[in-house]
Structure formats: structure tokens, C-alpha cells
Amino acid sequence: MAELIRVADGADPRLADYRDLRDVSLRKHLEAEHGLFLAEGEKVVRRALEAGFPARSFLMAERWLEGLADVLDRSDAPCFVVEEKLAEEVTGFHVHRGALASLERRPLPSLDSVLAGARSVLVLEDIVDHTNVGAIFRSGAALGFDAVLLSPRCADPLYRRAVKVGMGAVFSVPWTRTSDWAGALPALSERGFTTVALTLAPDAVPVDRAVAGLDRVALVLGSEGHGLSPRWEQTADRRATIPMREGIDSLNVAAATAIACYETARR
Amino acid sequence: MAELIRVADGADPRLADYRDLRDVSLRKHLEAEHGLFLAEGEKVVRRALEAGFPARSFLMAERWLEGLADVLDRSDAPCFVVEEKLAEEVTGFHVHRGALASLERRPLPSLDSVLAGARSVLVLEDIVDHTNVGAIFRSGAALGFDAVLLSPRCADPLYRRAVKVGMGAVFSVPWTRTSDWAGALPALSERGFTTVALTLAPDAVPVDRAVAGLDRVALVLGSEGHGLSPRWEQTADRRATIPMREGIDSLNVAAATAIACYETARR
């Protein structure tokens, strides 16, 4: 059972995991170096624990203890109980949903273990916005995707904002990051997946036709600014597009992913 | 041609339109009382002007003047030129894309003028998150929707964050807000639209079947937390759903809208 420890001093070193949560570059260093990530909100904290991530500690105001009593009962990590004002002082923002947990990252699984048994996979190249990464995981989970593969420079799915926007889908959908950017799509083709790249190229076929009748599919999405790299576009087995009104900016990548996942789920 | 006015004092009352942009409740009051809204970034500022919104003023650092020279040439509003540090001090955040403009709101158009000639319409009930409102406008515009109708309590599409996420789609897609919450959907049915409510209700039909063969369609989306009100769900002509994996949280409303717009565009 988690030990409840009341803390009244914002400078207490035991709160280090929760420091300055709005400072993205600081947090990236801190979380990578200590192998931790943060979950925020009762539902997301519960899902992280249920998915088997070991808790380092919890931080919450008194009034959140009851809702998470069962989770705390099953954990040996300390729970720091603070005034809401102190939580705000430490984290740098108003903690709407009260509860925070610091959890241990796990080693990234191998590509083969992530793909084992998978039929529908998302592959993200250099999506740099944490909100988009979270939204993509959420849509993929809801529409029956089995795994996600990230390019070396794709944003971290365990960053707090991605976890929150994804409603914890990043805990339930197996994912890993490839270190072999150039060979990423061929590696999927070799394993029996048809890689289908979403693109605005004029010769791409509508996505419903691109995925029709396929067994194993890997949908390939490019970055927010420039879309897919030429390398990935060229090494994909097929190129697909979502028909849009002429003269309009493209869809946001999260919206395009939702539509492509929807069509792929119906193939 | 816009007069360039260099301002070195953050307390200068001429910068009042740009004050404390992160303070949502303050901004809501200020913008409503003065009938203004803000556009951020070169592309969005240009689109606002091209859509015919009169500028009250511009605020930018020296280095953004060149990119917007043509826009400033065609405007009589003053352009306040400030150091980037001062822009940050006044607005409360780092202005990434540099240029800001304060523009005049226009009176909301009537329902009939918004619907004139429209074949595909989005209807939003109480979507309270500005990011979602912006994302929905962007997807609607990209997928060929002609108009948007908002419930009385739906978030403001002209709020800075909605404008930015929507990439200015809120300037190009005609929209208005109804004051008649209870009669909103019947008013559309009377005008020849089939109202199709997106819902998780178990008896709803898949969205592609719900819209197949329809001429004028109004897609009806509910709020982030609780979905549609019973009143709107019951007064809609049809109820539709997006098939999802069992046991999973629903799609985010912006993702669900993208999929529903996509299917409706193909009907």
C-alpha cells in the first residue's frame, strides 16, 4: 500500500519528478535521464498502473485520494499529498484533474514483438507535436489498430501531453521506435505488411481503394509540416490520398489518420 | 497604407487589444465587449484580411513587416512595431509566428443566409474546447462542407486558438450561432436538410449507411464530455455511429467529425 506523505515545502527534493511540467525542453532531459514519464488525471493514472508500468511516486491533493484509493492500495510507491496551491507551484500549472503519477519507462520492445499477431499498424514519420501523437494513438486504438511504429525523430508518446490527449491509449497499443530510418518500411514489407503511404501526390489512389482486400496493412503518416520524406514515400508499397475540396489546405495529420484508420478498419 | 508606429512601452494603451492573450476569461470579456478578435501568424492574418474582416490594428516585430508588406499596403489600420521581448511581455507568450492582427467582428449572419446554396452542413452542440472547434472547421472546409451552425453554448470560432488550429477555415466557411437551442434541428429539417446525429447509441446505424443517397445533409456533433443532449438526439432525423473496437473509449470529437465528414462527402 502506498505510504501517504504530506509535503508542505515546494522545494522538497522528493517532488523533483513533478517540477516545471510546462517546460518542454527541461522535461525532455529530465524524463529521459531518469527513465520516467508522468500520467495526469485519475483515469489515465489508473490505466498506466493497470498496463503494468511501475509507479515511482504519486502527487495529489487530499481530495483525490479517495478516487484512487484502490490504485494506491495496490502500489508500494510513496504518495505525496499536497495543497493544490503547492501542486501548482511545483508543476507550474493548475492541475485540473488533481492526481499525478510518476512512472518508470520500460525498455522499448523489438519490432518483431510489437508486430506479433498484428494485422493493422500505424507508422509515424517525424510527427513532432505531442497533441497529434496522442490523438493518433487514440484514434488507432478506437479503430482497431494493433501496433504503432515511430521514426527516430517522432515525438515521444509518453510525454505528458501525448498521454493525456491519447487518454492512455499509448499504454494499451504496443509501440516501438525504429533506429533504422531508411530501412523502416522495407522491414515491414519483408514481414508481410503492405505499406500504404498517405500523401498529397497527384498520382496517389483514394485510400479506400489502396487498402481494399489487403491482409496486413501498415498505414504510413508523415510530419505536420512537409508530409513524408521522399525516401519513405518511395519505399512504401502503395501511395494513397484522401479526396479533398480543391484549393484547400490539407487535413490536419490527426484528422487524416482518423479517416485512413477508419477506411483501413473496413477493408 | 498602414502607418508604422514604433512602440517601446508595454503599458501603451494602444496595445490594449493584445493584452494577456493566455488569460481566456479576460480575453472572452475583452473581445466580446470591443467586438474584436485576434489573428496570429502571417498566413492566418492574410486570410482574415482577404476574407474581408476590417483590421483595427497590427502588432509585429520588425522582421515580420516584409512578409506582410502587401497586406499592410492595403490597410488603413495602424501597425505597431515592437521588439519581440515587448510583444511577449504584452501578450504573455512567445509569439512564434510573429505577426498579430486585431480585427473587427461582423454581425452574425442569419440561418437562411448561411444555408443558402449549402448541401453539407455541420451542426455543433456545446463543443467547448477551442482546439476542437478549430479542428472541426478545418476538416469541414477540407472535405467540402458548406456551412457550420453552432449551439448557443458552443465555443467561439473566432477565439485565437480556434482560428489558429483551424488555419483560418473559420473565415472561409460561413457559420452562425442559433439562439433557439430546442428548435435548432427542426429548423434544419424544415429547410430540406436531413439531420444526422453522431452518437454512441447502440441502435444507431453506421454513418455511411445513414448518409447514403441523401441530398442535403446536416451532420450533428455533440460535446466532448457527454455527447449530444437527449433533446438534440431525439429531434434529429437519423442517428449514426462510427464502428469502433469494443471496450475502447470513443473517438475524440474532432476525429469523429473528420470521419463523418469524409463519409458524407462521398455520399
User: Any chain A CB within 8 A of the CB of B46?
Assistant: no
Q: What is the pLDDT of residue B6?
A: 95
Q: Can you tell me the distance from the alpha carbon of A251 to that of B2, in angstroms, rounded to the nearest whole number?
A: 34
CATH 3.40.1280.10 fits A111-265, yes or no: yes
Contacts of A139 in chain B (CB under 8 A): 251-252, 255
**pLDDT (mean) for A117-136:** 96
Q: Do domains A4-104 and A111-265 have the same CATH topology?
A: no
* Sign of the CA dihedral running A152, A153, A155, A158: positive
Contact assessment for residue A96 and residue A24, using Cβ atoms and an 8 Å cutoff: no
User: pLDDT tens for residues A77-113?
Assistant: 999 999 989 998 899 887 766 799 999 999 999 999 9
User: Any chain B CB within 8 A of the CB of A138?
Assistant: yes
Q: Can you tell me the distance from the alpha carbon of A25 to that of A238, in angstroms, rounded to the nearest whole number?
A: 37
Inspect the interface and report whether the beta carbons of A143 and B251 lie closer than 8 Å: yes
Inspect the interface and report whether the beta carbons of A143 and B258 lie closer than 8 Å: no
Contact assessment for residue A102 and residue A56, using Cβ atoms and an 8 Å cutoff: yes
- A253-265 and B253-265 helices cross at what angle (nearest 10)? 60
- CB count in 10 Å sphere of residue A29: 10
Q: What is the pLDDT of residue B28?
A: 82
- Tell me which residue in A142, A259, A266 faces B248 most closely, judged by beta carbons: A142
pLDDT tens for the 267 residues of chain B, in order: 889 999 999 999 999 999 988 888 888 888 887 899 999 999 999 999 999 999 999 999 999 999 999 999 999 999 999 998 999 889 988 776 679 999 999 999 999 999 999 999 999 999 999 999 999 999 999 999 999 999 999 999 999 999 999 988 999 999 999 999 999 999 999 999 999 999 988 889 999 999 999 999 999 999 988 899 999 999 999 999 999 987 666 899 999 999 999 999 999
Grid cell locating B233: 438526439
- Cα–Cα separations (whole angstroms), residue B20 to B90, B137, B159, B256: 6, 25, 13, 33
Q: Which residues make beta-bridge pairs with A238?
A: A196
- Cα–Cα separations (whole angstroms), residue B194 to B119, B144, B265: 10, 17, 14
- Tell me which residue in B243, B255, B265 faces A255 most closely, judged by beta carbons: B255
Helix/strand number for chain B, H first, E second: 12, 12
Q: Which residues make beta-bridge pairs with A180?
A: none
B162 Cα to chain A: minimum distance (Å):
14
Closest residue on chain A to B165 (Cα): A252
Element (H, E) at A169: helix A169-172
Give the homologous superfamily in CATH for domain A4-104.
Ribosomal protein L30/S12 (3.30.1330.30)
Contacts of A255 in chain B (CB under 8 A): 135, 138-139, 142, 254-255, 258
Closest CA to A39 of A120, A126, A97, A122: A97
Q: What is the pLDDT of residue B98?
A: 75
- Cα–Cα separations (whole angstroms), residue B104 to A5, B13, B18, B52, B64: 53, 18, 14, 10, 22
B19 Cα to chain A: minimum distance (Å):
20
Grid cell locating B151: 449551439
Q: Can you tell me the distance from the alpha carbon of A151 to that of B173, in angstroms, rounded to the nearest whole number?
A: 36
Closest residue on chain B to A266 (Cα): B243
pLDDT at residue A249 tops 70 = no
User: Any chain A CB within 8 A of the CB of B252?
Assistant: yes
Place of cell 501597425: B79
- Alpha carbon B216 to chain centroid distance? 22
Domain boundaries, chain A: 4-104, 111-265
